[in-house]
Chains A and B, each alone.
Chain A
Amino acid sequence: MEGKIVAPLDLMQGTVDILVLKALSWGPRHGYAISGWIRERTGGVLTLQDAVLYKSLHRLEERRLLDAEWRPSENNRRAKYYQLTTSGRTALKHEHATWRAYATAVFDVLDANTAGI
């Protein structure tokens, strides 16, 4: 862990799931691609162990929010590609809204505190 202004946050299970769903909203990807995308997007603020990511993928597959398929990767190796199912898409929409409401509520509280100081 490098010295940063904000210490990296550990992610909770539900959080990983929504990030995975979001990562797949642009189309099928394999686990490695999802890992890279999340790393890029969060700029290292959120550390996501790949083990946790794969657990989430297999969990979501079992819950049939994701479909999986083996096919050749960009450099022609066999890779497991995941994609959203219809219920996965619905779940993402729903979770997204919930998260937004949750975050708004948290920010409202934090901003009120700041004004009080």
Chain B
Amino acid sequence: MKNFNLPVLGAGAGLRHEHLDEIVQKWPAFKWFEVIAEDWMGIGGAIKSSFDRIRERYQIISHGVCLSIGSTDPLNIGYLKNLRKFLDEIKTPWTSDHLCFTMVDHTNLVDLIPLPFTSEAVKHIVERIKVVQNELERPFLLENVTRYITVSDREMPESEFISRILEEADCGLLLDVTNVHLNSKFHEYDAFEFIKSLPYRRVGQIHLAGWIPEENGEIIDSHDAPVPPEVWALFERTLELIGPTSVLIEWDSHLPDVERLLQETHIANRLLSKYSESQSSLEAA
């Protein structure tokens, strides 16, 4: 298995409402777009009209933020059914969400909160992933989140927690290279060793993003800047390890114009080409 058996689409970008007009006017040369499913499910009006035009020209991949896979509240089956309708409508070949919780005690925390790395959590999440896979009937990937805290690692480290969930649920990994880089700084470990310890054949998609440090010097995964050199370097080492993979540039606030966003995907595409060629020659040899 390579890339969790998913196609390699090249480098894409996150589709944001603010860019719709510019995209339908210029039709820039993006290879694909990722949409935050909850921002586009069940919409109508002008946003829907533009989205439908964009869907005719570009492959759209869905990515969710509200599944709350780690929560102990019951899975929201109504949400899953609406999501399924949306995924069918946009014909996405796979979908993803985050390995975290966003709701608990029926309260929305509106953020990606990390989980304790325990066997109980592994078992709980694996059961829920199976329900999700059953409802959505397409490959499902979980994304490793940025975490500013370690809730509990007395039973196992994060890499084992992720690996066990992916293997036991037969689930794909959306590898956020920026998140690995930031977590390695916050929790003082080697980012590449961490990636190597994951079941990387399950990586179906990669995320890259940048950040602007806060005024107090604190770093938050803010998706508001170009991908920094250290993340490009980690991305390149990852490609060397796992081969070309669909990659997405995330940019969510302080949005640049579409042209600037496109430039970021060009950098990613150049690196993808480099590793496509080296992999072809390896396979030929």
A and B: interacting chains: no
Name B residues whose Cβ lies closer than 8 Å to a Cβ of A.
Answer: none
